[in-house]
Structures are given as C-alpha cells and as structure tokens.
Amino acid sequence: MHRTDSRAYCHRYRRRRGVPATMVALALVLVGAVATGMAQEGRLKVLTTVAPLTNIVKNVGGLFIDLHGLIPAGMDSHTFEPAPLDAKYVAATDIIILNGLDLETPTEKLARANMKPTAQLLKLGDQTITAKDYVFDRSFPKSGGHPNPHLWMNPTYAARYAELVRDTLSALDPGHSAQYRERTQQYTARLTALDRAIAATVATIPPQNRKLLTYHDSFAYFAPRYGMTIIGAIEPASFSEPSPREVTRVIRQLKQEKVPAIFGSEVFPSKVLNQIGREAGVKFVDTLRDDDLPGTPGSPEHSYIGMMLEDVRTMVTALGGHTEALQGINPADMP
C-alpha cells in the first residue's frame, strides 16, 4: 500500500467509525513505517504499458518486483498520451518495459526524457522478431513505416516476452535470478499448453470458416500461427471510421467469402460493423480483446491467458467450432 493510499484509508476509517484522532495518527505512523520498510526491501521498480505486457511481467516477477502499468485498462494503446504526472513513475523506475515496434511512441519519448541514468528500457517486440517477420496491413500499412505491433496475441511470442523479462530482471536483481527462472519456466509451460489448446480448438472450425474480419488488425500474428486467414479489417490506418465506399466494399467481400461472423472490439467500439453485419447477413460479435483483460482485478480470468481463452472461445464458437480443448487451461496468474 502506498503512503497516499494508506492516509486516505485511515481518514475514511475515522469518518465511518469515529476513531479518535490520536489513534488515527498512530495508525498512519505504523502504516507509513510498513510502507517505508517495503520500499527499503530493494525491490526493482518496473514500469510497463499495456495490460497484457503488465500481466506477463507480473507472472515472471511476482512479489520480487514493484510493478506499475502505465496505460489504464480499456484505453486505446495506439492513441494513449501519457500525462505529465506519469513522469514521476518514469523517474522512479529501474526498468521500463515497452512492447516496442512503434506502439508506444509518446510513452517512449516521455521515458527517455525522464528516466534516471541507471534505468533500463526494454522493447520486447524489437527483440522477438526481425524486419523480415513484420506484418503490414490495413491498420498498419507499409507506407506508414510502422509494423503491426500485436505480437503478444501469439502465445509463442508471449513466451519469448517472458524470457526477455526474466533475463533483464535477473541481470538487475541477481539475488532473485533463481526465482525469476523458476517462475518463467512454469509460466512458459502454461503458455505452451495454451498454444496447443488453441491449435486444437481452431482445428474444429470448418475449414471454409477459418477467416477473420475484425475492426482492428490485432490478429496479424495470431492467425498464421493457427491456420486462419485474415480477410480484412475495417479500421483505416488513421484510426478513424471507414468511408461509405469502404463499407460497401467490405459488405461485398463478406458476401463473396460467406463467413458466418465478423468481430468488433471491447476497446474499439464501432457502429459501422453492426451495419456491415446486418447488410452482409453475418453475425456481428463485438467482444474481442487485445489489450483489455477480462473480468475484474483479482479474478482468475483477469490475466493474459484469460484474455486469450475468452477471445478464442468467442471466435471459434461464432465460426462454427467447439471449445472443449480449452477446458483444462487455468487462466489464473502464478501464485
């Protein structure tokens, strides 16, 4: 608990229970001492960006790190602009972990301007694939120079992210390197099981239905892994709504492709997809996620693995497959 949080808590408690001011003062001193003791434990201060990355880092670092996710849940990571107050987190952190691949350019600028000289900045995507593996698409055209950054939607890349985090944490905190290694080994085993379960689940979709049309191009590294074809995305590179001409083109394409469903996003709401679905005669599902964890904090499904399980269940069910292969996958974070 941070000092500011503890002070607010004690004042709320006094108002509700009528606790004498002297007891509140003593409580503040004790809580402050605990907070100071925690700060003196020497835990690494780690700053991350999007929720899936934060969750991956959490599973590797556990209680051995002091972790803060900078981008609020449900916020569009592509357009997120850090506030001036976020500089205080940057200035205090030991390591800043970004996805990279130009996803968090404003945050990276803030970080480089305010991070302390001893702090490190780790860009996971840049160390996971090379330029020959970059994917460019409607949301991320090659003419823009920015590849699709959604590597974490492929669990094998998420496992690579975990290993990069392990190595960096171990180098900065060698006293806990054994714990980081053990946690990463257990976590990547879970990701391997998830990868296999997704493959088995997607294989139950009739082959002619293994096609994805989404609002945002989030599945560029997911689809090839599991034998699915991305037939398009609605959102232009400008992150604006598509033109009427584009809508007409997509409707015509859907009628030709004869897919049973198209998919919207929790983070990118759009009425256009609903219209497209009606006019093309296909089901519209608007609950896919790429950087917003399902459930509530503390619930088992509020995790990267939980997000992937929910997305796959949603897609596979709408496209005519079944999800029994996912039943044995535990979404809960590492203890």
Locate the DSSP E strands across the chain: 44-48, 65-69, 95-98, 120-123, 211-214, 229-233, 261-265, 283-288
Q: pLDDT grade, residue 102 (50/70/90)?
A: very high
Long-range contacts of 3-6 (CB under 8 A, 24+ apart): 3/31, 3/32, 3/35, 6/31, 6/32, 6/35
Q: Which comes out higher in pLDDT, residue 41 or 132?
A: 132
Residue 238 or 206, more confident: 206
pLDDT of residue 328 exceeding 60 = yes
Mean pLDDT of 46-63: 97
Model confidence at 237: pLDDT above 50: yes
Give the whole-angstrom CA distance, residue 193 versus residue 116: 39
Hey, CA dihedral for 188, 189, 195, 198, is it positive or negative?
negative
- What confidence score (pLDDT) does residue 210 get? 97
pLDDT one-digit tens code per residue, 246-289: 889 889 989 999 989 999 887 666 778 888 999 999 999 988 99
pLDDT at 196 over 70: yes
Mean of pLDDT values over 314-324: 98
Determine how many CB atoms are found less than 10 A away from the CB of residue 127: 15
pLDDT number for residue 139: 86
Give me the percent of the chain exceeding a pLDDT of 90: 68
pLDDT confidence of residue 76? 66
The lowest-confidence range among 15-24, 51-60, 82-91, 169-178 is 15-24
Supply the pLDDT for residue 69.
94
- Mean pLDDT for the stretch of residues 72-101: 86
Average predicted confidence (pLDDT) for the chain: 86
| 66 phi, psi to nearest 5 deg | -105, 105
